[in-house]
Structure 1
Amino acid sequence: MKIKANGIQIEVEDSGGEGRPVALLVMGLGMQLIGWPDDFVQALVDAGYRVVRHDNRDIGLSQGFDEAGAGNLLWQSVRRRIGLPVRSAYSLQDMAEDSLGVLDALGIARAHVVGASMGGMIAQRLAASAPHRAASLVSIMSSSGARQLPGPRPDVAAALLRRPPSRTEAALVAHSMGMVRLIQSPAYPQDDQVVAERIRRYMHRAYRPAGVVRQMLAIVADQGRAELLPRIASPALVLHGEADTLVPIACGRDSAQRIPGARFVSIPGMGHDLPPQVVEILMQHILPFLAHAESRS
C-alpha cells in the first residue's frame, strides 16, 4: 500500500496485525522491501511481532527523484577521499525521517528497528536522532561510516561501478548474478537458478538504476554518523558476517564499539546476503534479543 511519509509517497507492507510490538525492517542499497526473505519476515510474525517493511525512497514502488539526475558517483567518491563535500540528492538522515514518517502514518509510537547494510546505517541514524521511537536497534552487515574503516574488496568495488553491457533482461540478470557471486556467503551458497529467479522478480516489480546511484551517493555523502552512535540509548544488537566482502567485518565491530552497551555477534561463513541458513542463524540471536528488549520496555 502507498502512504505519505515525510512528505513523499512510500510503498509499505504491513504484516502480523495491530496490537503487537512492531519490528520495522529497513533494507539496503537498491533493495526493495521484498529483499527481506519471506522466512525472515515469517519468523518475526510467528514470534508475535507486527512487521512493517517499506521501499526506501527512489527504489521499488516508492517516490523517485529522477529530477535530481543520477550524479557522478566516481567523481563524488574522489571528492570524499580528498576531504571535499559530496553532493547528493538526499541524505541518509532524510531516509531515516522517511522511516519515522512510515511509523507516524501507521500510528506507531515505537518500534524495534532492524536494518541491513545501508538499512543498518539508516536505522542507526533513526535510533540516534529519535531515541524515543526506537525500542531497540538491530544492525546487520552494516557500518558506522567512520573514515578509517576498510572498504569493499577491490574486485567488489569495481563491480559496483561496472555497468551492464546492455539492458536486455538476460544481460541485467547476468550482471546482477556476477555481483551476487562476489558478495554471497561462501559457507551457504545459493542455487544460481533460485537467485536468478529472485532477481527477475525484483526487476519485474521495479527497475530503477538511477535511484541506486543516488542512494550510493547518499552513503558516500554521509558524514558524522560515527560520532552520533554514542547517543543511541536503546538496546542494540550488531550482527556481521565474517566473510563479508562488501562491508568488511571491522565495520560491524566499530559500530558495536561506538554504541553504548551494544552486543556484537560475528557469523562464520556469512557474506553480504541472507540465504535461508543465515536467516536461521540470525533469528537465533534476533528473537531472544527482541524479547529481552520488549520485556525491558
Structure 2
Amino acid sequence: MPAAAVNSLEIHYETFGSPSDPAILLIMGLGTQMIYWHTEFCQQLADNGYFVIRYDNRDVGKSSYLKDQPVPDLTKLLMSVTLGGKPEAPYSLQDMAVDALGLLDHLGVGRAHLVGMSMGGMIAQTIAFTYPDRVNSLTSIMSSTGDFTLPQAKPEAMATLTQSIPATREDYIRVTKSIWRVLSGPVAEFEEDRYAELAGEAFDRGLNAAGFVRHFAAIITDGDRTSRLAGITTPTLVVHGTLDPLIPYEHGVATSRAIESSSLVTIEGMGHTLPAQYWPEIQRAILSLIRTVS
C-alpha cells in the first residue's frame, strides 16, 4: 500500500478509479483505520466515474505514530474546557486537515469532494472553512459542530471509547465486534461477519492506543465550530442517523443549521456505523450533491 510523505509523516492511502476523474477524499473518524471505509463502498463510488481516496489519519493504522508526543489526560482536558479554559493537545484538527491536503498535493489533486465520517467530518469541515479553494463539495456524516451543550452520547456508547485494547488477535476481534454492535444502535442490522473481518485486518495492520487518545484530545480542544461553520459557502451535505448513540441526531441538525449552504439527509434507524443497508441512500445523496458542482 502506498504512502505519502506529508508534514514529516508517512500517510498511508489507497485509491480506487482513475486519477483523471474528479477526486473524492474519504476521511475516517476517531482512532479508526481507513479500512472502515469499506472496500465495496469505495469501489461503488469509483464505478460512478470518480477517483476515490481513503487513508489512515496520523497516529492510526499504517500511518506514522507520533510516539514523541505525550498521551493527554482526557479527564483534565474535558474539565478545563468545561470551565472555559483553552488547553492544548499534542496536535489539532487543523494539523490533521493539513495532512489531508498534503495527501492531495502528493496525488496531484488541486480540489476534491470531501466526505468525512464522525471525527473525519470535523476534519472535512475544518478544511472547508480554512481552505475553501481546495474543496468542491463537503459531506459531513454522523459528525458535529463541537457544541458541548448538544445532547451527549449514551453511557453505553461512551463506554466503548474507554475499553483497553486486548493483547491477542482473537480477543481483539471479540471486543471490537461488541463495540461496533453498541455503536450500530438498536435498529440497524449488525453485520457481525463483516466487522469480525475488519477487526482482524485492523489488528494485523497495527494498533495504537495512544493515537486514539491524541485524536480525542484534538476533538476536545477544538471547541465549538458553529461560528466557523457559518463561513462555509461550499455546497454541503449533512448525513445523520436518527439512532446514533455516540453523536446523537441533534448534532447533525445543528451542523446543517450552522452551514447555510447545506442540506440534511436523515437516515432512519442508522446508528454510528455505516452498514451496507444504508449505502444506496447515502451514495445517492453524495453523488447528487457532487454532480451539481462537477
TM range, normalised to the smaller chain?
over 0.9
Q: Is the 8 A contact 2:145 2:224 kept in 1?
A: no
Q: Is the 8 A contact 1:70 1:210 kept in 2?
A: yes
Deviations 1:55-84 (A, max 9, x none): 101111111111113221222222222222
Following the alignment from structure 2 to structure 1, what is the Cα–Cα distance between the partners of residues 41 and 206? 22
Secondary structure, in 3 states, of the residue corresponding to 1:41? helix
Following the alignment from structure 1 to structure 2, what is the Cα–Cα distance between the partners of residues 243 and 223? 24
Q: Match for residue 286 of structure 2?
A: 286
Q: Match for residue 92 of structure 1?
A: 93
Structure 1: unaligned runs, 5 residues or longer: none
Q: Is the 8 A contact 1:146 1:226 kept in 2?
A: yes
Secondary structure, in 3 states, of the residue corresponding to 1:95? helix
For the pair 1:106 / 2:107, whether they are aligned, the reply is: yes
- Cα RMSD of the aligned pairs, angstroms, is 1.5
Secondary structure, in 3 states, of the residue corresponding to 1:167? coil
Q: Match for residue 147 of structure 1?
A: 148
Q: Match for residue 214 of structure 2?
A: 214
Residues 145-184 of structure 1 aligned to structure 2 (within 5 Å): 145-164=146-165, 166-184=166-184
Residues 182-197 of structure 1 aligned to structure 2 (within 5 Å): 182-197=182-197
Q: Match for residue 40 of structure 2?
A: 39
Following the alignment from structure 2 to structure 1, what is the Cα–Cα distance between the partners of residues 23 and 146? 27
Q: Match for residue 12 of structure 2?
A: 11
Q: Match for residue 129 of structure 1?
A: 130
Q: Match for residue 199 of structure 2?
A: 199
Following the alignment from structure 1 to structure 2, what is the Cα–Cα distance between the partners of residues 226 and 169? 41
Give the letter aligned to residue 177 of structure 2.
M
Secondary structure, in 3 states, of the residue corresponding to 1:68? coil
Give the letter aligned to residue 136 of structure 1.
S
Give, in angstroms, the shift of residue 6 of structure 1.
3.0
**TM-score normalised by structure 2 residue count:** 0.95
Secondary structure, in 3 states, of the residue corresponding to 1:146? coil
Stretch moving more, 283-292 or 107-116 = 283-292
Give the letter aligned to residue 195 of structure 2.
V
Q: Is the 8 A contact 1:141 1:241 kept in 2?
A: yes
Stretch moving more, 217-226 or 233-242 = 217-226
For the pair 1:250 / 2:250, whether they are aligned, the reply is: yes
Give, in angstroms, the shift of residue 105 of structure 1.
1.4
Give, in angstroms, the shift of residue 54 of structure 1.
1.3
Deviations 1:149-199 (A, max 9, x none): 1221122112312325x4222332222222112111433322423322221
Residues 64-75 of structure 1 aligned to structure 2 (within 5 Å): 64-75=65-76
Q: Is the 8 A contact 1:137 1:234 kept in 2?
A: yes
Q: Match for residue 119 of structure 1?
A: 120
Give the letter aligned to residue 289 of structure 1.
L
Following the alignment from structure 1 to structure 2, what is the Cα–Cα distance between the partners of residues 148 and 59? 29
Q: Is the 8 A contact 1:39 1:279 kept in 2?
A: no
Secondary structure, in 3 states, of the residue corresponding to 2:125? helix
Give the letter aligned to residue 129 of structure 1.
T
**TM-score normalised by structure 1 residue count:** 0.94
Q: Is the 8 A contact 2:241 2:269 kept in 1?
A: yes
Structure 2: unaligned runs, 5 residues or longer: none
Following the alignment from structure 2 to structure 1, what is the Cα–Cα distance between the partners of residues 211 and 220? 14
Following the alignment from structure 2 to structure 1, what is the Cα–Cα distance between the partners of residues 196 and 219? 27
Give, in angstroms, the shift of residue 289 of structure 1.
1.4
Identity across matched positions, percent:
38
Stretch moving more, 243-252 or 219-228 = 219-228
Query: Cα distance 1:159–1:52, how it changes in 2: closer, same or farther (>3 A)?
Result: closer
Query: Cα distance 1:128–1:92, how it changes in 2: closer, same or farther (>3 A)?
Result: same
Following the alignment from structure 1 to structure 2, what is the Cα–Cα distance between the partners of residues 12 and 90? 21
Q: Is the 8 A contact 1:2 1:11 kept in 2?
A: yes
Secondary structure, in 3 states, of the residue corresponding to 1:273? coil
Query: Cα distance 1:187–1:155, how it changes in 2: closer, same or farther (>3 A)?
Result: closer
Give, in angstroms, the shift of residue 238 of structure 1.
0.2
How many residues are treated as equivalent by the alignment? 293
Q: Is the 8 A contact 1:14 1:50 kept in 2?
A: yes
For the pair 1:277 / 2:277, whether they are aligned, the reply is: yes
